[in-house]
Amino acid sequence: MYNKLSKFLKILFMCHCRADRSFFYKGKQFPICARCTGELIGMIFAIPVAFKIKNLRWVYIILLSLPLIIDGFIQLITKYESNNFKRVVTGFLFGIAFIFIFLKFHYFAVEIALKIVSIIKPDKAIL
């Protein structure tokens, strides 16, 4: 069971699983890195929050995403190396933003589908 879940998480997050950027528990490496672990925790946290806050404004989504983007970009262009605490925190914030981005896409898709249905107005005999 653990191996299947581990493989699923690695694929889902497209994680590099580097040991130096991962957490360990009882000598075993987590299946995903610290940043992806933070994203997963953020997504799990955001799901019940999303029932309360149905539509988060884009400005807040961007603000939640910025720490991850900035941290990753600075690491890419400099010799700076963030630690696992920063990675899990930036991942957590991005995980929350990701759920709300997904919801915004969902609401947009439903809105478009309703517009298409209202234009087509299918014959009631077919339904």
Name the DSSP class of 15. Answer: -
What pLDDT was estimated at residue 116?
87
Q: What angle do CA 8, 28, 76 make, to 5 degrees?
A: 70
pTM higher than the cut 0.95 = no
What pLDDT was estimated at residue 19?
84
| Integer Cα distance of 96 and 40 in angstroms | 9
What pLDDT was estimated at residue 122?
63
Q: Which one, of 20, 127, 26, 31, lies nearest residue 84 by Cα?
A: 20
Per-residue pLDDT of the chain (127 residues; tens, 9 = 90+): 568 888 888 888 888 888 888 888 888 888 899 999 999 999 999 999 999 998 899 999 999 999 999 999 999 999 999 999 999 999 999 999 999 999 999 999 999 998 888 888 766 545 4
Q: Which residues pair with 5 in a beta bridge?
A: none
Q: Which residues of 22-47 are buried (b: 16+ CB within 10 A; e: fewer)?
A: beeeeeeebbbbbbbbbbbebbeebe
